[in-house]
Amino acid sequence: MTSNSPHYLLFSEANRDRCSLPTWRFVLQNVESQLRFAATDSEPCDCGERLELLAVVRGLEALDGPARVTLVTKSRYVSRGIKKGLAEWRANGWKWERFGRIVPVRDHDLWQRVDRAFQFHEVTCQAWQFETVEVESVNRNETSVQEEIPVVTRRTRRHRVDPPHVERLPRVVHPVQRLKRRAKTHAAQLTEALRNVARPMREVVGAAT
């Protein structure tokens, strides 16, 4: 891989909506020319992680030639597989030990396609959290279209941003807790009343003796 190879940003994601078929999506952006190419499709798949991996596969296979690719994904399944699992799975014949048994690696057919793409492309993976906004983009045929491009925000565990203008909800007291509190209050009142009655009775008994 030479330094003259084009550099691309590859954004990939999957979406599972109860009202429609699960979909995968990727956006390829050339860093130098800023040209973008996006593709999306639906798959009858129950596993969201497989769709996230499929989006990466389709994005890498959409490249015309060898390139340097920075993969931006919010899928920990994809990022951990690329950084930690891929080399080991390849060395072990795409099998691993699971609950004491040697079984094929999950989604091994897609991981093999990722590994094959790594033979042509120099890929680095970044686990980020991003949101999509509408921007003007151009596809490979240089046709102007209205597309969505992810806006990247670094994922961090140290800082949490709370949503603005969040009103504090009133504290809800469970009915059982309310009854316990009332019973406790009544018991205290009854004890105090008994003390007030017993005090003059002791004074009368003491005077009679």
Nearest to 67, CA basis, from 140, 6, 3: 6
Which residue numbers in the chain have pLDDT < 50? 132-146, 155-169, 201, 204-205, 208-209
Q: Check residue 4 and give its pLDDT.
A: 83
User: Which tokens in the block code for residue 46?
Assistant: 């129950």
Residue 52 to residue 179: CA distance in whole angstroms: 51
With 0-12 / 13-18 / 19 or more C-beta atoms within 10 angstroms meaning exposed / middle / buried, residue 6 is middle
120 Cβ neighbours under 8 A, 6+ residues apart: 63, 65, 66
Residue 84 to residue 105: CA distance in whole angstroms: 13
pTM: 0.62
Q: Check residue 166 and give its pLDDT.
A: 42
